[in-house]
Structure 1
């Protein structure tokens, strides 16, 4: 049955609504097929965005690790986070962002990814968060060891801490093949002018910045500049620290959201972000498997166009 299903549906593309309709028609006589289908990654292709200036593509939804991966040795906690990471990978996710600021997160990412044997498939990103050249080098070496990433795919200067010093080290490390891409990060609107200046004056591959449907400050200048300069963009705080969900609690999604394969408010917020032409990948964090499944659902199906994005803003602000 399994091989027959794969042969018959090899070239079929359908969205979640079509799949549900097909499933309803098959339920009486095709329960074995449905059982197998339930375990599949969605039949649509995962949405990927190209890193500017390269042919490399990244899935549009990644994963942050702040707080969620900062756990101890409790077996239940570790098994839960391991299942979150496993779900992320099974749904096609690759981009994992961490930092030495995040407690044990780097070490937990490396250990669990090693246990799952998925390290080669991941795009590992972390940061340098200290002052001084030698302190930065030591910290970055430790991060690479803990995350088991050699080379590190993306090394970023966290919140612009001593960025003049660290950017020089990152440029050297990139030329030596120790890291693949260079980036800078911040999470507040007040830092956007500094980020923009560095985009103009430094040879950056990535920026990481805060952006969401109710915090669109980056739209004013930063995101257009990144696009014009060919700089990839990671988005942190896509849910504004979770506050977006309190705004829509008890509210229904608009009927037209289904046209963009949106089935939850989380996907509504994420698809608004990843449909921006400058955005490469959004990195929400979660410690719950069902939230990870929902987040990754935003990486499939149709993306809103510019007119739809404006309508999403209008609907949310009402």
Structure 2
């Protein structure tokens, strides 16, 4: 297995990490025997970074890892989990959730502790209640070894967060379709220039760049004399970047593990040939043709005076059309842009058609008009009532469930 060293702390991390968000399940719960075998096989074959988070598998992911990562298997891996930022209202909450997570993981320390799903709004609120003081104290007590954050916002916000603290690591979404989405390539290089380890989530864009893919893309990949699966191509593209420390993959079966380990062993930085890179450009064109809005996620339209997260609105909207993800799009829209899972409301319905964004858009998109489409098609009728129900009922119920599950 290829190892990539973090200059800041000397940790040698496997180029491929195991993501514990999509473990195999049986009757709605983690299939413990299958998942245990997958993780042990991964570790035995050189993977030494395991990523989880408080809400994964309804709160069961951390507890499961705590059960199986004991003795030598705990010693062989760097364990990463995340502070559930949307539940944090005061300083004491941070202490409470860290203690719960340590207990669930059955460990005295967490190797990489990240603030989960950080954006500009949530970051400002956490700073106000002393998140840096808490993290420094936890590190001094040996409860966490490295401090970082996972990120979902635009590149300008990413840079502001990077510059606000001496971070050890960050986790960003990155793949060959997301070069200019969220942190993007610009953010990747910026974090690396600051000595921050960069871990990658969604290298396959939630599986959308693997498995069932547009037929036109398969014909393009077939032009290469070297035959690879769509998943291989996607992982290889991310690993080609020398700034990347580790790619986190949610592997659900032995074949996926075998293939991904093979790619991570072969795909050294800057190893893709020029003609291979051209194939990625052709494949990207196919996906872009399927997009409902020709938005590159550059962020020039931001910030919106009314707080609309314009790039994210269009990203979710495009996914709906490219991959027939109507339900998932509505769920993400409500949870992330509606503020149901924390943070401010940033949905398309807040647009007042001021026109500021149109002047700034390099693609000359009629942004207010398209935001209206997003609001109508994804938010749907009665969106305000959905938000009220979500904030009044879903979050408290989910919070109570998570607190209960942590004690089971």
Q: Please give the range of the TM-score, normalised by the shorter of the 2 chains.
A: 0.7 to 0.9
Contact 2:178/2:184 (CA < 8 Å) preserved in 1? no
- Residue 209 (structure 1) shift: 0.7
Task: Name the residue aligned to 1:203.
Answer: 166
* Residues in 2 aligned to 1:290 and 1:107: alpha-carbon distance in whole angstroms: 25
| CA deviation profile, 1:92-118 (whole Å, cap 9, x unmatched) | 00111111121210011111223x851
| CA deviation profile, 1:167-226 (whole Å, cap 9, x unmatched) | 32112222332211000112x3x3433222111121100111100111112344211111
What TM-score do the two structures reach when normalised by structure 1?
Answer: 0.75
1:313–1:148 CA distance, 2 compared to 1 (3 A): same
Task: Name the residue aligned to 1:127.
Answer: 82
Q: Are positions 1:113 and 2:78 aligned together?
A: no
Across the aligned residues of Structure 1 and Structure 2, the Cα RMSD in angstroms comes to 2.6
Q: Which segments of structure 1 move beyond 6 Å, counting only runs of 4 or more?
A: 69-74
**What are the residue-to-residue correspondences of 1:44-59 with 2, within 5 Å?**
46-59=1-14
1:315–1:142 CA distance, 2 compared to 1 (3 A): same
What is the count of residue pairs matched by the alignment? 266
Contact 2:175/2:204 (CA < 8 Å) preserved in 1? yes
More contact order relative to length (CA 8 Å, sep ≥ 6): 1
Task: Name the residue aligned to 1:233.
Answer: 198
* Residues in 1 aligned to 2:166 and 2:179: alpha-carbon distance in whole angstroms: 25
Of residues 169, 172, 178, the one that matches 1:215 is 178
- Residue 79 (structure 1) shift: 1.0
* Residues in 1 aligned to 2:8 and 2:222: alpha-carbon distance in whole angstroms: 37
Of residues 111, 116, 124, the one that matches 1:153 is 111
Structure 2 gap ranges (5+)? 286-408
Task: Name the residue aligned to 2:247.
Answer: 282
- Residue 65 (structure 1) shift: 1.4
Q: Is the partner of 1:55 in helix, strand or coil?
A: coil
What TM-score do the two structures reach when normalised by structure 2?
Answer: 0.60
Task: Name the residue aligned to 2:284.
Answer: 317
* Residues in 1 aligned to 2:262 and 2:278: alpha-carbon distance in whole angstroms: 21
1:312–1:88 CA distance, 2 compared to 1 (3 A): farther
Q: Is the partner of 2:159 in helix, strand or coil?
A: helix
Structure 1 gap ranges (5+)? 1-45
Task: Name the residue aligned to 2:387.
Answer: none
